[in-house]
Chain A
Amino acid sequence: MVNLVIDGQRVDAEEGWTILDAARYYGVEIPTLCHMDGLTPYSACRLCVVEVRRGERSRMVASCSCPVEVGMEVVTKSDRVKKARRMIIELMLATTPNSRTLQCLASEHGVTEVRFRGEDRRCILCGLCIRICDQQMRGGAIGFSQRGVDRTVSLPFHKTPEACRQCGACMYVCPVCELPCPGTLQPGELCNNCLNVVEIDAFPSAK
């Protein structure tokens, strides 16, 4: 058993668990986009960053791949973490406005503007499709090509290879396949509808 602290709570975790495993086990929510149980951790979206403090020192780690350690003090919602998450969501929305998952995350984390020049690339390069194709479907049909800003998920030579059985698993796991509630949005546009909900006092007499 590994004894650690998550958001001020002393908890016991199994040896070999990641911080994300432990947090979820104890009901602490950490948002993720590139993580899925059953696939290898990829630590690319960086949305799951948390702060790990040890005495005076503090560092940011990706909770989906960082193993728990004895005496670790994890903070999942510090100002530093919140600021980072908001920026990451904003960066992703600048290139991928038409994802319901992302638009909901924006509302949840209070992202109300996109300050970067955008373009609709329709992909956040989380790599879930590639990993599920390879690791669960034993397909190996799609992969990353190019690098840096030019990186894309692609088929070799843009042709469907024999290895693809058209099982559709890639679409099933994709976090940007579903349109946001208001329909198609332009880069820079935000849904934020959930932020405009007026609270209705359903039980006035209970006061």
Chain B
Amino acid sequence: MAEEQTLSMTEFVSKVVEDNGADRSRLTAILADVQQKYNYLPEQALRDIAEAMEVPLVDIYGVATFYTLFSLVPKGRHVVTVCMGTACHVRNSADLLQELSRELGIEPGQTSRDMSFTLETVNCLGACAMGPVMVVDGKYYGQMTASKVKKVLKPYRAEKVEEEAPSGRLVSAADLEKHRVGVREERYKDSTALALCSGTGCRAAISKEVATALREALRKNDLEDNVILRETGCRGFCERGPILTVKPDNILYQRVSPGDADEIVRETVMNGRVVERLLFEDPETGEKAVHEGEVPFYAKQLRWVLGASAEIDQSEIDDYIGVGGYRALARALFKMQPEQVIDEVDRAGLRGRGGGGFPAASKWRACREARSSDGVKYVLCNADEGDPGAFMDRCLLEGNPHSVLEGMVIGAYAIGANRGFIYVRNEYPLAVEKVTEAIRQAEQKGLLGDDILGSGFSFQVGVSRGGGAFVCGESTALMASIEGRIGEPREKYIHTAVRGLYVRPTNLNNVETWANVPIIINEGPDAYASVGTEGSKGTKIFSLVGKIRNTGLVEVPMGITLREIIYDIGGGVPNGKRFKAVQTGGPSGGCIPESLIDIPVDFDRLYEVGSMMGSGGMIVMDEDTCMVDVARYFLDFLGDESCGKCTPCREGLKHMTSIVDDVTKGRGSKEQLELLRELAEVVKDTSLCGLGQTAANPVLSTMRYFEEEYCEHILEKKCRAGVCKALIQFQIDAEKCTGCGRCAVQCPSNAISGEKKEPHQIDRERCEKCGICYEVCEYDAVVRK
């Protein structure tokens, strides 16, 4: 490192280019490395990169300004990022941002003058279960409110912040089986094992500290060699994290803290007794659940894809092999012809889990049959999970990366492809780390790379990092991004299966789809297809977030009703509020009202009611959510994320946003609503890619089911949910106010006054409507009208 310090910028840049390779596909990685060193991208560095890579400067400038990851101006020492995802939005992230902006004295995107803080927003960090979320220098803070801001920023201002620390080759199917027996013998004996959830959700809820405390407790009792502690991937029940299960009895403890470690080891591990106070207690009945299956959250789920995450350590390929991993790959390679693999996937009825629900086998077949000029074909994994409110792909990659890799190798074998990429969002650092590690391990074991398991089949896979652009989840934009160009979609009149990445036949599926492939090969297509509905087979993972009691990841059989998911698994809407709608399918989806809550969840039904499956975000909204505001939120999001290539999407979104914004401010008119509808239809009809073609859905679906809310905003200048700031007032109910003065102390704009123990008043002129008074009042004396 010391050596690097002395390098000039030009020398450093040429070293980075050399290390990464001067290939265009490495451009985003090179820019990321340079930015890491200088904290931003200096102009000279870009000129040096252009020269070293022999690429026109303007192309590099274009890429550097396209992706939000990169900055051409210096950033502060601490970067504060506020998540603007849907789940966080419905839980009031806008107020949080406003407060941060006030507290730091800078607008989002700016850096404070003393270079200490930069305030940024991000369109979903995938930590939706803990929303609203903010991140300071990579440390996650969940369940944030405006009133907590000061406390969180304090240590960073003082500049004292604790830093968080971040075998042999198998040559045949028989070898793999032998190894599996060995692993089971060693790591899956009938003795005790601890499985601690270490997904991003639980990490924010201090699972790292819990792991350290548990290790220490085991060491004190001389148990470290006998009891295995597994740090597993996300277990879904983020609301109650950190989650710990004790094997072999599968006792489930929730909200475990480091202080519980000694007791767990002493009571449960050593004496087989249950620690009652850590058990899940049903908030309705008060009944305690000892095992996973008894917790209502898990009872109705069918965890085919996510299940294994609970059994394996995130970083151990041997654990995956121990629970039967790579068996499907061996079967495909040695017992099946490629066409047979495609046929089985076809019979299983696997449809793409990334959004469109296109039959996977059809794509595979088209790609297999497509001719490539030099024989090269690509298999890609779309892990650019940009839908705000969805985080299942992140959890799969973090918790069980090998299941995704195994699916990809099987797919590559069926298609006849030898190269591949996993395109991961840069907002998921842990997923990038885990999947990179998994690739290395699989290559070492001979399960990836040249001559896999001695079969003669080779498949190389690399990780490509995204740059913070939602549109890169679109297949052609994703491919452009991997090639190191601006993530701009192109027309798909010639399918990517025929002409995709580097103009070669390319097959792209998303993370969850790939993870389903080994299950189909292992269980057989008929068993797989026995679950689900006519047109949608198997299971689907949803991230259940927003105004719901049990937030987290759930995996359910296709065809389950929304009601079962929301009430039986999710436990309904908290705080006695009324359920209003559920938003599915991300920004391309729509809002489904209460009247349709009994529809079965499958690809086709959701589409019929004006929404879609999408990647599986499910954001629950209650009476405090304003549907016009939700529409404005999605339009804002899409306008921000549109690549700007085609006219209807770029200009149309801008004007749709401005019309809906007018409505939320009480300036809308009936004529404008008609114009909005007309514009929405054209944007849908004429946009170039899927982003634009579906961009009108949130508007059209909220106008379809909640037109009365639009009318109220326009005619009565009223927002019934109390969200649209221009239409609400805060008042203090003199009868309820005890004059405690709490609101007056907390009010950032000094708008509240009053004598001690006398009712207080709010000065309407000064009030910024941040809602802190409403939040902190213990006597419900602050009313929002």
Interface residues of chain A, those whose CB is within 8 Å of chain B, are 41, 43-47, 49, 60-62, 65-67, 80, 83-84, 87-88, 91-92, 94-95, 115-117, 124-125, 134, 140-151, 154-157, 161, 163
Q: Which residues in chain B, 620-664, are within 8 Å of chain A measured between CB atoms?
A: 639-648, 650-655, 658
Q: Which residues in chain B, 497-511, are within 8 Å of chain A measured between CB atoms?
A: none
Contact B61 A67 (CB under 8 A): no
Contacts A141-B58, A147-B66 given: A92-B688 contact, CB under 8 Å?
Answer: no
Q: Among B58, B491, B644, B682, which residue has its beta carbon within 8 angstroms of that of A140?
A: B58
Instruction: A66 to B686: give the CA distance in the assembly, Å.
Output: 13
Contact B682 A44 (CB under 8 A): no
Which chain A residue lies CB-closest to B469? A147
Which residues on the A side are within 8 Å of B679 (C-beta)? Answer: 87
Contact B644 A92 (CB under 8 A): no
Shortest CB-to-CB span from A4 to chain B, Å, is 14
Q: Which residues in chain B, 55-75, are within 8 Å of chain A measured between CB atoms?
A: 56-62, 65-66
B486 in contact (CB, < 8 A): yes
Which residues on the A side are within 8 Å of B651 (C-beta)? Answer: 91-92, 94-95, 149
Shortest CB-to-CB span from A115 to chain B, Å, is 6
Contact A91 B652 (CB under 8 A): yes
Which chain A residue lies CB-closest to B681? A83
Q: When each residue 587-623 of chain B gets 1 if its CB lies under 8 Å from chain A and 0 otherwise, what string results?
A: 0000000000000000000000000000000000000
Which chain A residue lies CB-closest to B657? A149
Which residues on the A side are within 8 Å of B56 (C-beta)? Answer: 134, 140-141, 143, 161, 163
Instruction: A153 to B352: give the CA distance in the assembly, Å.
Output: 37
Which residues on the B side are within 8 Å of A161 (C-beta)? Answer: 56-58
B7 in contact (CB, < 8 A): no
Instruction: A41 to B57: give the CA distance in the assembly, Å.
Output: 23
Which residues on the A side are within 8 Å of B61 (C-beta)? Answer: 143, 145, 154, 156-157
Contact A155 B682 (CB under 8 A): no
B675 in contact (CB, < 8 A): yes
B43 in contact (CB, < 8 A): yes
Shortest CB-to-CB span from B341 to chain A, Å, is 30
Contact B646 A45 (CB under 8 A): yes
Shortest CB-to-CB span from B277 to chain A, Å, is 51
Contact A91 B648 (CB under 8 A): yes
Shortest CB-to-CB span from A44 to chain B, Å, is 5
Instruction: A91 to B686: give the CA distance in the assembly, Å.
Output: 13
Instruction: A151 to B688: give the CA distance in the assembly, Å.
Output: 16
Contact A91 B655 (CB under 8 A): yes
Output the residue of B46, B60, B641, B679 with the most chain A CB within 10 A. Answer: B679
Which residues on the B side are within 8 Å of A61 (C-beta)? Answer: 493
Contact A156 B650 (CB under 8 A): no
B490 in contact (CB, < 8 A): yes
- Beyond contacts A45-B646, A92-B651, A149-B650: 11 other A-B pairs, Cβ-Cβ < 8 A, are A84-B685, A91-B647, A91-B651, A125-B647, A143-B59, A144-B62, A145-B61, A145-B65, A146-B66, A148-B639, A156-B58
Shortest CB-to-CB span from A116 to chain B, Å, is 5
Contact A84 B66 (CB under 8 A): no
Shortest CB-to-CB span from B340 to chain A, Å, is 32
Shortest CB-to-CB span from B652 to chain A, Å, is 6
Contact A151 B644 (CB under 8 A): yes
Shortest CB-to-CB span from A152 to chain B, Å, is 9
Contacts A147-B644, A148-B641 given: A46-B688 contact, CB under 8 Å?
Answer: yes
Contacts A62-B688, A91-B652 given: A44-B645 contact, CB under 8 Å?
Answer: yes
Contact A46 B642 (CB under 8 A): no
Shortest CB-to-CB span from B517 to chain A, Å, is 31
B536 in contact (CB, < 8 A): no
Contact A151 B650 (CB under 8 A): yes
B161 in contact (CB, < 8 A): no
Closest 7 CB pairs of A and B: A151-B644, A140-B56, A143-B58, A156-B61, A91-B651, A145-B65, A87-B682
- Do most interface residues of chain B lie in helix, strand or loop, or is the interface mixed? helix
Contact B639 A124 (CB under 8 A): no
Contact B643 A148 (CB under 8 A): yes
Q: When each residue 451-475 of chain B gets 1 if its CB lies under 8 Å from chain A and 0 otherwise, what string results?
A: 0000000000000000001010000
Contacts A46-B646, A87-B679, A92-B647 given: A143-B686 contact, CB under 8 Å?
Answer: no
Contacts A43-B646, A88-B682, A146-B644 given: A156-B46 contact, CB under 8 Å?
Answer: yes
Contact B644 A83 (CB under 8 A): no
Q: Among B46, B59, B62, B647, which residue has its beta carbon within 8 angstroms of that of A46?
A: B647
Contact A147 B688 (CB under 8 A): no
B755 in contact (CB, < 8 A): no
Which chain B residue lies CB-closest to A85? B686
Which chain B residue lies CB-closest to A46? B686
Which chain B residue lies CB-closest to A116? B655
Contact B686 A60 (CB under 8 A): yes
Shortest CB-to-CB span from A20 to chain B, Å, is 12
Contact B62 A84 (CB under 8 A): no
Instruction: A141 to B58: give the CA distance in the assembly, Å.
Output: 6
Which chain A residue lies CB-closest to B652? A91
B687 in contact (CB, < 8 A): yes
B678 in contact (CB, < 8 A): yes
Contact B493 A147 (CB under 8 A): no
Which residues on the A side are within 8 Å of B491 (C-beta)? Answer: 41, 43, 62, 65-66
Instruction: A46 to B647: give the CA distance in the assembly, Å.
Output: 7
Contact B642 A145 (CB under 8 A): no
Q: Which residues in chain B, 536-580, are within 8 Å of chain A measured between CB atoms?
A: none
Which residues on the B side are within 8 Å of A49 (C-beta)? Answer: 685-686
B494 in contact (CB, < 8 A): yes
Which residues on the B side are within 8 Å of A143 (C-beta)? Answer: 56, 58-59, 61-62
Instruction: A13 to B695: give the CA distance in the assembly, Å.
Output: 35
Shortest CB-to-CB span from A170 to chain B, Å, is 12
Which chain B residue lies CB-closest to A43? B491
Which residues on the A side are within 8 Å of B494 (C-beta)? Answer: 67
Contact A65 B493 (CB under 8 A): yes
Shortest CB-to-CB span from B480 to chain A, Å, is 12
Which residues on the A side are within 8 Å of B43 (C-beta)? Answer: 157
Shortest CB-to-CB span from B367 to chain A, Å, is 19
Contact A84 B682 (CB under 8 A): yes
Instruction: A142 to B490: give the CA distance in the assembly, Å.
Output: 20
Q: When each residue 669-684 of chain B gets 1 if its CB lies under 8 Å from chain A and 0 otherwise, what string results?
A: 0000001001100100
Shortest CB-to-CB span from A155 to chain B, Å, is 7
Which chain A residue lies CB-closest to B682? A87
Q: Which residues in chain B, 670-721, are within 8 Å of chain A measured between CB atoms?
A: 675, 678-679, 682, 685-688
Contact B642 A149 (CB under 8 A): yes
Which residues on the A side are within 8 Å of B688 (C-beta)? Answer: 43-44, 46, 62
Contact B687 A46 (CB under 8 A): yes
Which residues on the B side are within 8 Å of A154 (C-beta)? Answer: 58, 61
Which chain B residue lies CB-closest to A117? B658
Which chain B residue lies CB-closest to A134? B56
Q: Among B648, B655, B686, which residue has its beta carbon within 8 angstroms of that of A94?
A: B655
Instruction: A156 to B47: give the CA distance in the assembly, Å.
Output: 10
Instruction: A37 to B686: give the CA distance in the assembly, Å.
Output: 22
Which chain A residue lies CB-closest to B67? A147
Instruction: A66 to B490: give the CA distance in the assembly, Å.
Output: 11
Q: Among B62, B647, B675, B682, which residue has its beta carbon within 8 angstroms of that of A115?
A: B675
Contact B493 A148 (CB under 8 A): no
Which residues on the A side are within 8 Å of B640 (C-beta)? Answer: 148
Which residues on the B side are within 8 Å of A116 (C-beta)? Answer: 655, 658
Instruction: A151 to B654: give the CA distance in the assembly, Å.
Output: 12
Instruction: A146 to B487: give the CA distance in the assembly, Å.
Output: 11
Contact A150 B648 (CB under 8 A): no
Instruction: A61 to B655: give the CA distance in the assembly, Å.
Output: 23
Which chain B residue lies CB-closest to A133? B58
Shortest CB-to-CB span from A186 to chain B, Å, is 18
Which residues on the A side are within 8 Å of B654 (C-beta)? Answer: 149
Instruction: A68 to B650: give the CA distance in the assembly, Å.
Output: 28
19 A-B contacts (beta carbon < 8 Å):
A44-B647, A46-B687, A66-B491, A66-B493, A83-B682, A88-B686, A91-B652, A92-B647, A92-B651, A94-B651, A94-B655, A144-B486, A144-B644, A147-B642, A148-B640, A148-B650, A149-B653, A151-B650, A163-B56
Which chain A residue lies CB-closest to B687? A46
Shortest CB-to-CB span from B559 to chain A, Å, is 27
